[in-house]
Structure 1
């Protein structure tokens, strides 16, 4: 009697890791959707059309540096209002709290970067921008790696 061929062990492990990563990514995306559902209407109601959140991870530290808001005709101030913020904790649970809108946008950006670029704050660090288009509800992440490079030459004398 013939037995069906079993996939090699490394294929089974890779498939399990891939499934686990997809589950984790789905959880991250679900929490990000909840965050966007909380802050987008607030921004829209206050005439904000775009938000840019800048982050920098130089010097083995990571931080959100600036949260800039823009109205249709230039710079705008973020309103000093409260916003619900949701985060995926290490144990897989979702935590929720109400914080200042600017803090919610900062936390959203930091969580998005951490979910996609683990270790962005290490070494020379990375830097980038989270861009939020309020009308369309789209969020873009421009991430820039920093690294030290060198060139070696060897000469026999």
Structure 2
């Protein structure tokens, strides 16, 4: 399936380039290694963004959320990714999680940069907060079937001594 193919793309990146590897007294190597790490990390971010977009196009919500989580782990200040995750969660009927995602973004931006989220992010938060639940997000409970005649006869039956 397209969803599993997208997930396998992200699985190709499994950690920092040459993690734990050091060469003593080789500052040029250290500089090269740090440059390569940053390059690989940037590629992983681009790949996660690509997977999010393709998953959204394919309506593969779980894959999109997995990729957004990966993207936010790599780039915690990515406000666009926070908005995408908020929107996906809200569309799935997970309003509280969507609102919590905004608070996570807000705290991260305030702690790291001393700034508030952009007006676009705040507007999305307010839209989600003020939205009424829609039928698609409500749990489905089977309604027991009681024929109208039985319901009409119920009060008399309850008053009778045979009950």
TM-score, with length taken from structure 1: 0.29
Which structure has the highest strand share of the two?
A: 1
Of the two, which has the highest radius of gyration? 2
Higher relative CO (Cα under 8 Å, sequence separation at least 6) belongs to 1
Which structure has the highest helix share of the two?
A: 2
